[in-house]
Amino acid sequence: MGYEFFPMNQSNGSSSTSPSLVLELHSSAKWRAHLQASKESTKLIVIDFTASWCRPCRFIEPTINEFAAKYTDVKFFKIDVDELMNVAQEFEVQTLPSFVLIKGGIAVDKIVGVKKEELQNKIERHMV
């Protein structure tokens, strides 16, 4: 007999108990819009290139969600390489998981593989 409260970024009826702060992109057009907007911003963007069949990608996913919650001034995006192959090719993604860090519309760093500490260090270095 109580009320159910949802965080502002979680919609009612969601089956997830905690909303992800990582935005999944499913169209090249939406990616281009975010990339264009990043050119006019000083915010760091982290792209998580992943695939549904990639076990290491699933292994590091909770860490990416933790980083997104911790580094609220950084925008986190998730792109499935099978879905947006052209975006993966644009950033020369050949191994999964791969993470590309973008600032001012320009790729400033890239991490390949499950390297939590390296990714965290590079996020902290580039977010300032």
Quickly count: other Cβ atoms within 10 Å of residue 19's Cβ.
Answer: 15
Residue of 59, 94, 97 lying closest to 78 (CA atoms): 97
Distance (Å) of CA 7 to CA 10, 16, 108: 5, 12, 33
Residue of 46, 47, 57, 111 marked catalytic: 57
| Catalytic residue list contains 29 | no
Q: Is 54 a catalytic residue?
A: yes
CB 76 within 8 A of CB 68: yes
How far is Cα 75 from Cα 46, in angstroms, rounded to an integer?
A: 6
Of 25, 45, 54, 79, which is the active-site residue?
54
Pick the closest to residue 65 from 14, 128, 17, 126 (CA basis): 17
Structural contact between residues 68 and 78, judged by C-beta atoms closer than 8 angstroms: no
Which residues carry out catalysis? 54, 57
